A and B are shown apart, each in its own frame.
Chain A
Amino acid sequence: MLGRRQLREKWFLLAPAMAVLALITLMPLANTFWLSFTDTRISALPTPTHFIGLENYIYALTDPDFQDALFRTLYFTVVSVGLEGVIGVAIAVLLNQQFKGRTLLRALIILPWAVPTIVNAVAWRLIYHPDYGALNSMLYQLGFISDYRSWIGDPMTAMHMVILADMWKNFPLVAYVALAALQTVPGDLLKAAAVEGASPWKRFWSITLPWIAGPLMVVMVLRTIEAFRVFDIVYVMTGGGPADSTKTASFYVYQEYFNYLRSGSGASYAVLVAGISAVMILGYYAAARRQSQGGAA
């Protein structure tokens, strides 16, 4: 138990940090939240602002286009983070083996993650180019396609092409965290399991994966938040097209705010996107807690 003096001291020491946090996080958050209940517009002229209650939210949620965008974003998030998880762990397991050139490969694998998103997006747009893209050229020469295709101009493939580009950029992060975690898995345990006759597959599922689940969860949560508010890579690669087939929820925040100059409405979209991310994060944590409790039992 802290004494009264110690308690006061504790608050005194925490105060500066909390003040900074309030200034840079809580205030903008509160401001955005307040804006979302108003009809504020961006203007250089004095314009009256009114409190309009839930009108912005009702407008957003009853817009079928925005509903589509939410599901599209969810699809993007699940597929892209899911693939990053699977490929990231698989690569990490590979990089955890002893082989020649391992150090070099470990260094190389981080490169995609080091590339800025915009550069990555431009590079992939060139790769997918309908007339002189490397993807068309490769598939054509290998005989997989008989004609050059429009990869990001076709609504059936555009989203998957963006997901591929996003995945290529972000799997190294998962791989690195998983690799670091893998190095803490006790070798004795794995050896003992092997002696007992557990197959490599069984050893991975029953020992390795549960062991690295904690750190993996953290990186997956981070990636999920980032993926759900995806904007930049889509903006550069497709601009939301073709026919809105890659338009994600964050586009609405941007559009309402900067294109249509309705900052109040834009704030409501921002709160919605942030709120849904928060729900997903809570879901992850619930899953993580259940798992750690299961592990203890």
Chain B
Amino acid sequence: MTSLGRLLFGSAMATLAMAQAASAETKLNALFMSQAAYSEADIKAMTEKFEAANPGVSVDLEFVPYEALHDKIVAASGAGDDGYDVVLFDVIWPAEFATRGFLTDVTDRIPADYTEQVFDGAWTTVEYGGKRYGMPWILDTKYLFYNEEILSKAGISAPPKTWNELADQARTIKAKGVLEYPLVWSWSQSEAMICDFTTLTAANNGKFFEEGAPVFTVGGAKDAVSFMKATLDEGLTNPASREYFEEDVRRVFSNGEAAFALNWTYMNALANDPAESKVAGKVKVAPAPGVDGKSVASSVNGSMGLGIPSNSPHADEAWAYISFLTQKEIQEDYSKLSLPIWKASYDNPKVTEGQEDLIAAAKQSISVMYPRPLVPSYTEVSDILQKNIHEVLLGQADVDAALAAASDRVKRIR
């Protein structure tokens, strides 16, 4: 046998041996997103630890953009044994997934004492009809990030406490010529915009639904849209916000081209990382402001949970993996891009060190997290709101007409 022949034969035998070993163990297919919260590298590292601690179980990771997550979960529900065993799902889906039977009810698998140890807002992420369809994992909300240097250049000493104050400070920054557009948002026609809209609605004490009927045409929800439009009209908001997602917001803010930005937890670490940001060290974070007489701070529940699709043939192993990822120790080890669901973690130096302002903001924001409408037809409601609010932001419709149109359309949902 030539040396090449031996090499080929050897590697063929090795492959065969590996294939045999692999067939003896359980392989889990897990679906995650590659955007915001934990990075791919973090999730891979956690998974390696899990595999090391659980011989015989290996995990195949798949990362998709957030926009593809819902459809992937739905499409794989018909895949039988070849579907996913663990999926990451958004706070807005349990109602739909539960009524359609896509996720396994795991209420009985969750230890009773967890209920007290984990934040209520986190539990909302996985609950529908009194049952739990997974374990919360990413406890997230949109915070107000501000560039301290820009504020001090404009003579502003403290960050805004209310949205009106924020608009005033933006006016000052613009008037003094520090920045052309002090505000940047993720207002593309997408879920990202609805998260900003929800934050502002929460600040204004607004409501989306009352007894199943849409009520977002009046009150706080309407005030929220009016505020959004006004900041565009005044030139305070970067007009390109209307095609931005969260990553665009991070980029613009990290380039020093905005004074204020709403974004998820993950931006705190990245905007302060010199390799990723030109404004590292100048970035501060606070809870999103409130509205005089209505709220002190505002926040949208943007949490996500891990669940087991009902067609998974490996529910026990999948639950072991979910339990591993959501445990306090693991979450504390990876708390730079996403904060733990565990109340006790917020006083652990391992978590707080180096991000004291984020933790302080989180304590306040998490207590006021406001949910987006918890209805089974949420995806459609959101699409309708996205389209009509976008028309307002683009100057194609006025606030009242657009919200009335959205309300009519929501009533037509089958």
Q: How far is the CB of B297 from chain A (nearest CB, A)?
A: 30
Interface residues of B in 239-266 (CB under 8 A from A): 239-240, 242-243, 252
Bound form: Cα–Cα A239–B390 in Å: 13
Binary CB contact string for chain A from 153 to 184 against chain B (1 if under 8 A, 0 otherwise): 11100000000000000000000000000000
A243 within 8 A of B: yes
Contact A152 B243 (CB under 8 A): yes
Binary CB contact string for chain A from 16 to 44 against chain B (1 if under 8 A, 0 otherwise): 00000000000000000000000001111
Contact B310 A44 (CB under 8 A): yes
A45 contacts across to B, CB distance below 8 A:
100-101
Binary CB contact string for chain A from 47 to 90 against chain B (1 if under 8 A, 0 otherwise): 00000000000010001010000000000000000000000000
Q: Assess A259 versus B379: contact at CB under 8 Å? Given A45-B101, A239-B190.
A: yes
Bound form: Cα–Cα A242–B388 in Å: 10
Bound form: Cα–Cα A260–B310 in Å: 19
Binary CB contact string for chain A from 123 to 167 against chain B (1 if under 8 A, 0 otherwise): 000000011000000000000000000101111000000000000
What 4 additional pairs, Cβ within 8 angstroms, besides A44-B77, A59-B414, A243-B189?
A: A44-B311, A152-B243, A241-B243, A260-B377
Contact A262 B394 (CB under 8 A): no
Interface of A is mostly: loop
Contact A261 B390 (CB under 8 A): no
Contact B189 A242 (CB under 8 A): yes
Contact B100 A242 (CB under 8 A): no
B188 within 8 A of A: yes
Binary CB contact string for chain B from 73 to 87 against chain A (1 if under 8 A, 0 otherwise): 011011000000000
Q: Assess A241 versus B189: contact at CB under 8 Å? Given A150-B242, A155-B396.
A: yes
**Between-chain CB contacts (< 8 Å), 29 pairs:** A44-B310, A44-B311, A59-B414, A131-B252, A150-B239, A150-B242, A152-B243, A153-B242, A155-B396, A239-B188, A239-B190, A241-B188, A241-B386, A242-B189, A243-B189, A243-B393, A243-B394, A243-B396, A244-B189, A244-B387, A244-B390, A258-B70, A258-B74, A258-B75, A259-B71, A259-B379, A259-B383, A261-B100, A265-B414
A59 contacts across to B, CB distance below 8 A:
414
B380 contacts across to A, CB distance below 8 A:
259-260
Bound form: Cα–Cα A135–B370 in Å: 41
B102 within 8 A of A: yes
Interface of B is mostly: helix
Residues of A within 8 A of B (CB): 41-45, 59, 63, 65, 130-131, 150, 152-155, 239-244, 255, 258-262, 265
B96 within 8 A of A: yes
B40 contacts across to A, CB distance below 8 A:
none
Contact B243 A260 (CB under 8 A): no
Interface centre among A42, A59, A240, A261, by most B CB within 10 Å? A261
A63 contacts across to B, CB distance below 8 A:
412
Q: Assess A243 versus B387: contact at CB under 8 Å? Given A45-B100, A130-B240.
A: yes
B400 within 8 A of A: no
Contact A262 B240 (CB under 8 A): no
Q: How far is the CB of B114 from chain A (nearest CB, A)?
A: 26
Contact A43 B240 (CB under 8 A): no
Q: How far is the CB of B192 from chain A (nearest CB, A)?
A: 11
Q: Assess A243 versus B100: contact at CB under 8 Å? Given A59-B414, A258-B74, A258-B75.
A: no
Nearest chain B residue, comparing its CB with the CB of A155: B394
B409 contacts across to A, CB distance below 8 A:
65
Contact A239 B242 (CB under 8 A): no
B398 within 8 A of A: no
Binary CB contact string for chain B from 97 to 110 against chain A (1 if under 8 A, 0 otherwise): 00011100000000
B149 within 8 A of A: no
Bound form: Cα–Cα A131–B257 in Å: 11
Bound form: Cα–Cα A260–B102 in Å: 14
Interface centre among B70, B78, B239, B412, by most A CB within 10 Å? B239
Contact A243 B74 (CB under 8 A): no
Q: Assess A42 versus B74: contact at CB under 8 Å? Given A243-B394, A260-B377, A261-B100.
A: yes
B391 within 8 A of A: yes
Binary CB contact string for chain B from 391 to 414 against chain A (1 if under 8 A, 0 otherwise): 101101000000000000100101
A152 contacts across to B, CB distance below 8 A:
243
Q: How far is the CB of A116 from chain B (nearest CB, A)?
A: 17
Bound form: Cα–Cα A184–B380 in Å: 54
Nearest chain B residue, comparing its CB with the CB of A265: B414
B276 within 8 A of A: no
Q: How far is the CB of B246 from chain A (nearest CB, A)?
A: 14
Nearest chain B residue, comparing its CB with the CB of A235: B67
B190 contacts across to A, CB distance below 8 A:
239, 241
Q: Assess A242 versus B379: contact at CB under 8 Å? Given A45-B101, A131-B240, A258-B75.
A: no
A262 contacts across to B, CB distance below 8 A:
414
Q: Assess A44 versus B102: contact at CB under 8 Å? Given A130-B240, A153-B243.
A: yes
A260 contacts across to B, CB distance below 8 A:
377, 379-380
Contact A43 B101 (CB under 8 A): yes
Q: How far is the CB of A259 from chain B (nearest CB, A)?
A: 5
Interface centre among B101, B396, B409, B414, by most A CB within 10 Å? B414
Q: Which of A42, A150, A153, A244 contacts B100 (CB 8 A)?
A: A42
Q: How far is the CB of B88 from chain A (nearest CB, A)?
A: 18
Q: How far is the CB of A247 from chain B (nearest CB, A)?
A: 8
Bound form: Cα–Cα A59–B412 in Å: 9
Interface centre among B190, B252, B387, B412, by most A CB within 10 Å? B387
A261 contacts across to B, CB distance below 8 A:
74, 96, 100
Nearest chain A residue, comparing its CB with the CB of B413: A260
Q: Which of B74, B102, B390 contacts A242 (CB 8 A)?
A: B390
